[in-house]
Structure 1
Amino acid sequence: MSRRFLWLLLSLLSPLVLATPDLSRVVLCRDVVQREPVGVLQGDQLPKGLDKLVLFTEVHGGAGQKLHHRWYFNGALQADIALPLGADRWRTWSQKHIRPGTWRLEVLSDDGTLLYQHTLVESTAP
């Protein structure tokens, strides 16, 4: 076999054998400082007055692939953020300015596999 043929064969098969990234941590928080989440949020209710939300993920495996953070507001997709994974252990995050309503956050692998989903409601009461 020629080298060119082997290279072509490997380039076609490599997406099939790439491992799906394994989420080791998913954290909803107010900010990230020195690559660590701060102001961690618990539960399904967003605190009143919160104007920014951060979705922090740590993965093992998947170097060279992308992780997708999807942000939905009241059922409508607001953002699909593709985050490259630079190593087999990688921390990455995305953030959105939020408003009162229902937010659904999803984390997907490059092949579209749903790895995480969480719905949050921010109260509209004063």
Structure 2
Amino acid sequence: MTFARISSRVAGAVLGALLAVPFLTAQPAAAQSSIVIRDFVLTHGIYEREPVGTTETFASADERGYAFARIANDGSPTQVSFVWYYGDEMHASIDMNIGTSGGWRTWSSINLRPGNWRVKLQDASGAVIAERSFMVEHTGGASATSGMKDQSSNTPSSPSYGGWTGQHDGG
């Protein structure tokens, strides 16, 4: 092979690589989330759109467990999902709309049964933005919170999974 022929091949390869670079970098970047999680807690209930204490353990007599999120969203309205797991199996996925606000509050609840649980909060792209694990202990009798009424305007979202949700905008 002559020097001219090698130079021609190298020049062709370099030119081809340079032409490919704009196509590789011209791909749109993944959209960054405009939401910030201010608070993500587990609670025994919601009263006046706020969590009633926080916990990492529930009793089976509690009947329901709540995951509460306080979210700041300075971008366009978006969606988050509360994804509940019982052991390693997904139990329910509940989508919630999030408006533009510095203090959006939203929550989801689930019927409890003894065992290991976790709930993931995912953004619209499915990325996990917060996660909490908790235990439901088997107990007999009524719990301290079993008679408490939820004063929010929760509506059923996924009755087949026992999921209830509520969301409220606030400052």
Question: Which TM-score applies when normalising by structure 2?
Answer: 0.58
> In the TM superposition, what is the alpha-carbon distance from 1:48 to its structure 2 partner?
5.0
- Alignment-derived partner of residue 125 in structure 2: 111
- Alignment-derived partner of residue 82 in structure 1: 95
1:1-126 pair list within 5 angstroms? 17=31, 19-38=33-52, 40-43=53-56, 45-47=57-59, 49-61=61-73, 62-89=75-102, 90-124=104-138
Residue deviations 1:98-120 (CA, integer Å, cap 9, x gap):
11011111001111111111211
Q: Distance in 2 between matches of 1:108 and 1:35?
A: 21
More strand by share: 1
Structure 2: segments with no counterpart, 5+ residues: 1-27, 141-171
* TM-aligned CA distance change 1:111 to 1:33, over 3 Å: same
Structure 1: segments with no counterpart, 5+ residues: 1-12
Q: Distance in 2 between matches of 1:82 and 1:76?
A: 18
Counterpart amino acid of 1:84? N
* Secondary structure of 1:112's aligned partner: coil
CA radius of gyration, larger in: 2
- Contact (CA 8 Å) 1:63, 1:88: kept in 2 or not? no
Counterpart amino acid of 1:83? M
Question: Which TM-score applies when normalising by structure 1?
Answer: 0.76
Identity within the alignment, %: 22
Q: Distance in 1 between matches of 2:134 and 2:66?
A: 13
Counterpart amino acid of 2:55? Q
